[in-house]
Amino acid sequence: MAQPALIVHGGAGPVPSSELADRQAAVERALEAGWSRITEGALAAAVAAVRHMEDEALLNAGIGACLNLDGEVELDAGAMEGSRQRAGGVACVRDVRHPIDAALAVMEDGRHVLLSGAGASRFARERGIEMCDPAIFITDRKRQELLQGADTVGAVARDSDGHLFVAVSTGGIKGKLPGRIGDSPIPGAGMYADDRHGAVCGTGQGEAFIRLSLAKLMVVELQHGMDPASVARGAVEHLGKAMSAVGGVILIPKEGEPQAAFNTPAMPWAMRT
């Protein structure tokens, strides 16, 4: 029997000092929401944690997410399981109440890995996923116009059967071009899970994660027997040196403690085993 574990983060982008404590508290609440479901499996725990963070207005996912160049909220989310490497994601959705629910549905449907825009919304609607008026995501337009973004939220879980699951959600980056898709819903870039080795997710400058295939690289390093803490630190160092980019990562290895690393002033995160 494996030791259950859950680690969550609220983003490694610029965090105003006045918000840091409140963001940390939001992450702690998400940890509790996820941990309360851990006996149901890694999938249930990770999704519950991310779903909660989509409701926390101070985090860049769901309600309160940053705005694109047109002043609108476009949301990405992704999910991946470690047992069969099934993955699903949605991108540029505006009217899906909880994008992580839609990403999970894409994964479970199995025909595709990533749906975007109107097609993703149609898919969600046909699956009975909760939809909403896009206006619900804008709670404080002045604050959201200033929000830098680049701080995806995410969760990685391991259950007692040794199964791993990763879930991520984001509003992207401030002033992004409409239609921009970041690393969050892309397996191998912003997330990856493999029960044989570990599961990871990232937060930060998505284009850099995509170019480096950073999430997959981390799992390969775990496969080669590298120490999990060194993998996390090394990934962030590689991000900075290779791309002059900022960000953070969280991971859970097949065995052992969860790990986190970042090269930004702050990354609210919390874990439990």
Active-site residue list? 152
Could you tell me if 76 and 99 are in contact, meaning their C-beta atoms sit under 8 angstroms apart?
A: yes
CA atoms within 13 A on the CB side of 147: 35
Non-local (6+) Cβ contacts of 70 within 8 A are 178
Q: Which two tokens stand for residue 150?
A: 């680049």
Do the Cβ atoms of 174 and 67 come closer than 8 Å?
yes
Alpha helices in the chain (DSSP H): 17-35, 42-53, 99-109, 117-126, 141-146, 206-212, 214-223, 228-243
Residue type, 239: L
